[in-house]
Amino acid sequence: MNHSDFVHLHLHTQYSLLDGACQLETLIAKLKEYRMGACAITDHGNMFGAIEFYDLAMKNGIKPIIGSEVYIAPDSRFEKSSRGIKDASYHLILLAKNETGYKNLIKLVSSGFLEGFYYRPRIDKEILAEYSKGLICTSACLKGEIPHLINTGRIDQARKVVDEYKSIFGKENFYLEIQDNLIPDQNKVNEEIVKIARDMDIGLVATNDVHYVEKDHARAHEVLLCIQTQTTMDDPNRMKLQTEEFYFKSKEEMSRSIGTIAPEAIKNTMVIADKCNLELDFKKHHLPNYHVPESYTREGYLRELVDEGLKKRYPEGDTVVKNRVDHELKVIEKFGYPSYFLIAWDF
């Protein structure tokens, strides 16, 4: 099968809770219809759908790219008192290139919930720099830091932030997003983004911030936002996306719009997809490790506990039982299960 030479790298599934409306089965069907050989999911602040999407995509011959649209604190992730929800964070796209990037993405997302949570699960540039290896970063939507600075006339500051992300990820792993969603502010941002990219030798990438699969799903998505914000469709002040362009567009649709602005932005979706080659092994069992006292191995500690139990139950000894226990312990050790049994004992 000839694959499309464009892939979506900024997309929200149903796991962007009460915001994304791309159901995974429907998404996979659309990917096959458009002959797209890869796709990223970038749910808001989480990776809830990562394994389900990975498994489903692999079974259908599609390369899964695991990512997240993380929330970046304007200052420290520990600063939680000075801003309201609209100013508490910026958006940023992170994509895992490999297992290292996947593990680092897990650490970043977890930190957002455990350390930086303030309205949203937030991280900051300090921890981003610590766990940047194996990740590709893109500048996100109008709620991203760079687009926001451009949109508010702070071009010089936007360029400084571009340098910061370039330093964190390396030039080859940082891209500036351009979108065509018919929002006037987006057109303004696109124009400056292209200038910055060419002046500073940064790659451009075309995205559509996909929130639903079909264009006629826009109204259903609006209902979803009403549920999130506890309002109704007849409220003129309800939260909604500004246009109905946030659907899963074909390569032809993306090329007609963004391809005329920056053709390389379409091609770079494939460049990024080629860089992302995460392999997850679902056949291998990953058991947790039990921390045993110093000077013990897990196998030795389990045997000691079993021997203590034997003495209590069979104070006079029983050769048949002892031989049976030795056999079972050898099987447990052979298959790497001592930690499992120690955890079960300690529960």
Return all residues near 174 (Cβ < 8 A) that are at least 6 apart.
Answer: 136, 137, 138, 162, 165, 166, 168, 202, 203
Residue 82 has pLDDT above 80, yes or no: no
- Global confidence as pTM: 0.86
Residue 151 has pLDDT above 60, yes or no: yes
Could you tell me which of 2, 336, 44 has the C-alpha nearest to residue 210?
44
DSSP string, 41-67: EEEET--TTHHHHHHHHHHTT-EEEEE
**Domains in the chain with CATH codes:** 24-275 (3.20.20.140), 298-346 (no CATH)
Could you tell me which of 100, 91, 13 has the C-alpha nearest to residue 45?
91
Residue 29 is predicted with a pLDDT of: 98
* DSSP SS3 for 94: strand
- Separation of alpha carbons 25 and 164, rounded Å: 38
Residue 316 is predicted with a pLDDT of: 84
Q: What is the pLDDT of residues 231-270, one digit of tens each?
A: 999 888 888 888 999 999 999 999 998 988 899 999 999 9
47 and 66 Cβ atoms separated by less than 8 Å? yes
31 and 59 Cβ atoms separated by less than 8 Å? no
